[in-house]
């Protein structure tokens, strides 16, 4: 095991109640040549427009503590209750959907897929077997959910007190607690709701229930909102308006992000930029490169090379 180090960020902003923003985030570097595990506990007063669809190449565990929010993963839509826990797989489009401006508390851990390569077995493996490698909501009993929450608060407390005592020993303790949490979660998870197989029909109007799985099954073939509207037999303006109202982002942005997620997957498989462009539904490589860089922060070729170098 190499030297562990933390990038520490603890920020407090105090003003009016609506600008109150407190958060804790730690980046745990276990190996110097690997991406860090990120542990975060955040308390914020957020507006619906503060949250956007995003994708990354790591696993993410998300624990909902408090607020009035829904969560979208792939084409699964969930109404969250305190204690709900989401497992998001790499390159899966996801976002919180706030119903109104509200106080919002959550934990999350971002875990690189190769971080446990040195372990005899990955503590994520039992969960991934349960979900078939898909994103999912992990179902826990109320008692188990409370146990997981207390373990998360325990990690946050150790993170905040990291400067007391032997620094290296504290870092090792945090890592051990993270492993214990993953093992406990694998043991206590009673069932899963696979993203893409679960849509909260009571929370969404019929056009949204129809369009989400249609996009998932036809993402590479769809080129416009009009095509989507025709496929589910509604007008394009109506579909765009109802999608923005309930999902919180423009429909065209959602479609574009889903295409980029597919392109990332193809590039990680070693496919060429041209192949990824056309197979993810773009018709112009220059446009594809520009949009990819806007979403990911690097060109498709840079992304493919960086992914290959890290594996």
pLDDT of residue 56: 82
Q: How far apart are CA 159 and CA 172, in angstroms?
A: 11
User: Tokens for 103?
Assistant: 């106080």
Q: In what order do the strands lie in the sheet with 94-98?
A: 76-79, 69-73, 94-98
Neighbours of 153 (CB within 10 A): 13
∠ CA 305-307-309, rounded to 5°: 70
Q: How far apart are CA 138 and CA 193, in angstroms?
A: 7
Question: For the segment 206-223, what is each residue's pLDDT rounded down to a tens digit?
Answer: 898 889 889 988 999 998
- Secondary-structure percent of the chain, ordered helix, strand, coil, rounded to 5: 45, 25, 30
Q: How far apart are CA 252 and CA 255, in angstroms?
A: 5
The strand pairing partners of 102, in sequence order, are 46
Q: In what order do the strands lie in the sheet with 58-66?
A: 5-13, 21-29, 37-46, 102-112, 58-66, 85-88, 136-139, 191-194
Predicted model pTM:
0.78
User: Tokens for 281?
Assistant: 């539904």
Q: Specify the DSSP element, H or E, that contains 5.
A: strand 5-13
Q: Single out the residue of 12, 8, 59 nearest to residue 174, CA to CA.
A: 8
What letter would DSSP give residue 136?
A: E
Q: How far apart are CA 267 and CA 293, in angstroms?
A: 14
User: Tokens for 254?
Assistant: 């959602």
The DSSP annotation for 46-57 comes to: E-GGG---B--S
Q: Is the dihedral of CA 118, 153, 125, 197 positive or negative?
A: negative
Question: For the segment 59-79, what is each residue's pLDDT rounded down to a tens digit?
Answer: 999 999 998 888 888 778 888
User: Tokens for 279?
Assistant: 């197979």
Q: 35: Cβ–Cβ under 8 A, 6 or more apart, which residues? A: 58, 112, 115, 310
Q: 119: Cβ–Cβ under 8 A, 6 or more apart, which residues? A: none
User: Tokens for 180?
Assistant: 């214990």
pLDDT of residue 201: 56
Domains present along the chain, CATH in parentheses: 5-194 (2.60.120.280), 206-309 (1.10.10.60)
**Can you give the pLDDT of all 311 residues of the chain as single tens digits?**
333 333 333 333 333 344 455 677 878 776 666 778 889 999 888 888 888 888 888 899 999 999 888 888 877 888 889 999 999 988 888 888 888 888 889 999 999 887 887 777 888 889 999 998 889 999 999 999 999 999 999 999 888 876 555 667 777 888 899 999 999 999 999 999 888 775 555 667 889 888 988 998 899 999 899 999 999 999 999 999 999 888 878 899 889 988 998 998 899 899 999 999 999 999 999 999 999 998 888 999 998 988 776 65
pLDDT of residue 3: 36
């Amino acid at each position: 095991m190499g030297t562990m180090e933390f990038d520490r960020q603890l920020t407090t902003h105090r003003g009016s109640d609506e600008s109150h923003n407190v958060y804790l985030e730690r980046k745990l570097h276990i190996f110097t040549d690997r991406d860090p595990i990120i542990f975060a506990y955040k308390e914020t007063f957020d507006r619906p427009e503060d949250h956007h669809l995003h994708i990354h190449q790591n696993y993410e565990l998300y624990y909902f503590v408090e607020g009035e929010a829904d969560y979208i993963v792939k084409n699964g839509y969930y109404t969250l209750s305190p204690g709900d826990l989401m497992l998001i797989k790499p390159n899966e489009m996801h976002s919180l959907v706030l119903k109104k401006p509200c106080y919002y508390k959550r934990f999350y851990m971002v875990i690189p897929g190769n971080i446990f390569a040195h372990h005899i077995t990955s503590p994520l493996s039992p969960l991934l077997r349960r979900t078939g490698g898909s994103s999912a909501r992990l179902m826990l009993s109320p008692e188990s959910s409370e146990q997981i929450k207390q373990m998360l608060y325990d990690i946050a407390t150790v993170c905040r007190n990291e400067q007391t005592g032997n620094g290296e020993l504290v870092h090792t303790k945090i890592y051990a607690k993270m492993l214990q949490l993953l093992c406990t979660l694998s043991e206590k998870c009673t069932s899963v709701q696979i993203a893409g197989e679960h849509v909260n029909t009571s929370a969404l109007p019929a056009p949204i229930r129809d369009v989400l799985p249609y996009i998932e099954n036809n993402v590479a073939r769809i080129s416009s909102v009009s095509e989507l509207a025709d496929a589910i037999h509604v007008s394009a303006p109506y579909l765009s308006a109802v999608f923005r109202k309930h999902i919180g982002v423009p429909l065209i942005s959602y479609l574009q992000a889903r295409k980029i997620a597919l392109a990332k997957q193809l590039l990680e498989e070693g496919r060429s930029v041209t192949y990824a462009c056309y197979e993810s539904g773009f018709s112009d490589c220059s446009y594809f490169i520009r949009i990819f860089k806007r979403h990911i922060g690097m060109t498709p070729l840079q992304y493919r090379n960086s992914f290959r170098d890290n594996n």
